[in-house]
Structure 1
Amino acid sequence: MPQFAANLSMLYPELDFLDRFEAAAKDGFKAVEYLFPYPYERRQIAARLKDNGLQQVLFNAPPGDWDRGERGLACLPGRDAEFRAGIATAIDYAVALDCPRIHVMAGLVPEGLEREAVQPAYVDNLRWAAAEAAKAGRDVLIEPINTRDIPRFFLNRQDHAHEIVDMVGAPNLKVQMDLYHCQIVEGDVAMKIRKYLPTGRVGHIQIAGVPERHEPDIGEQNYPYLFDVIDEVSAQCGWQGWVGCEYRPKHGSEPGGTSAGLGWLRALQQRA
């Protein structure tokens, strides 16, 4: 069975963020991820991790002005200084929280420009970020995201993400393979797991049901089968990454709704 991390930006939404660590631990999670730690002091989050026996496995670098719709700075020409300052902040948090991975969101292709016009800036920024992260022993991750959820997002496909990794040429730059986004954009998810996991360039996997982004047992994907594929390929190639539960619980706004929706995980545990 894969090892699962609770995404605290989406799970347990009825609780204050810092209280979600305890809720995840009570449900049996051993690791957590989330979008952004920056509204909180490092020591606050570190204490919640320690008190609940949790490992921090992933969070995002600062994405620009999130409230105004920015979804990353990496592909935006002329924003280099802000991008670099954000990466420095992310590395500081990663070290303090003993987090091995930082997701760097690509950003939106600016109006009036095509993807090809901003790709050189994206590659240059990632090369710099990977070099800085390597000094601190961290990996940088890039994630293809579907353009239904985030229109004009720069990176959408697995093959493009792996091409970018090749262009940058940094061993600590890897792909965050979100099976929800992959299904929406490309499909053929099992074969992509079989193709890309053995490369050693997949640093993290995320899941959610398609199309509503609820629990993985709601929707069109056969996740029990996909988990078996991950187990099979991992046994062959030695992949030991985490699978992040980045979904919106169908009854998450109700007290205990996230926990009640974890039947899919309990069923896997009974099979194991």
Structure 2
Amino acid sequence: MSNEHQPDHGVAKNGAKPLLQTEGLRVEYRSRNDSVTAVQNVSIVVREGESVALVGESGSGKSTVARAMLGLLPERIARIEAGRITIDGHDVTRYSNRQWEDMRGHPVAMVFQDPLSYLNPVMRVGRQIAESVERHDKATKDVQARVAELLELVRLPSTAARSYPHELSGGMRQRVLLAIALGCRPRLLIADEPTTALDVTTQAEILTLLRDLRQRLGMAMLLISHDLGVVWEECERVYVMFRSRIVESGATQQVLATPEHPYTRGLIQAAQAARSADGRFATIEGEYSTAQD
């Protein structure tokens, strides 16, 4: 393989156009005396209606990429130093906060991995869903009817609208975040580790719900995850991220069945809890030489 990975963006299905695209993206975090490159030369494409995964270990830069895609990088310490982000044909790389407010939610919305950190603890969830509708869905005249529709869509009882976040289970809170995102009528949903900290049964329920919503609404999805089993089942294409770079990409089943990069192979072995000849669990080295890239 060459030292510089050339992303495989796949063949457009039925002429589907890119809905979200990054080209050569580089993001740096800065302090008074130093700077760290968190993302470098990252190019990703998500087209209308498709499901794409971004995988890699914690700290690889996945969430930074997702936040950059929605203008959510911490303003004082993070900066896009190079590259471009395009959403629905618009270059949004240098958008102001005001411009981002009009872009977020529609056409692109995001579901975060920790609902308690993003839901208002002193506001009933029905009101929080209503705010999303009022802000992003101008066509809706009856907001309360739309809230009831969204609760039904994410399979929550109507009584949940009167609850505060702490009164709901983790799975129910994740569904509330989904309802808030769907209230914006997004064409693309970015799901950042949507099943983290949930039990196995609830994880399966959330993933089934996401799959059904995509089919019902014709919505594209960018799934950020380290769970390769989920990626295999849910996503058509995958990008593998290691140490701030995309090191491998392509059709999901091809990449995971016949990985080319040593990091991808190590990630798969670690996910399978493979053991070496001496009985130790397989591990992923912290760094690979340039010659292996």
TM-score, structure 1 length as denominator? 0.40
Using CA pairs under 8 Å that are at least 6 residues apart, name the structure with larger relative contact order, 1 or 2: 2
Q: Which has the higher strand share?
A: 2
Larger CA Rg, structure 1 vs 2: 2
Q: Which has the higher helix share?
A: 1
TM-score, structure 2 length as denominator? 0.37
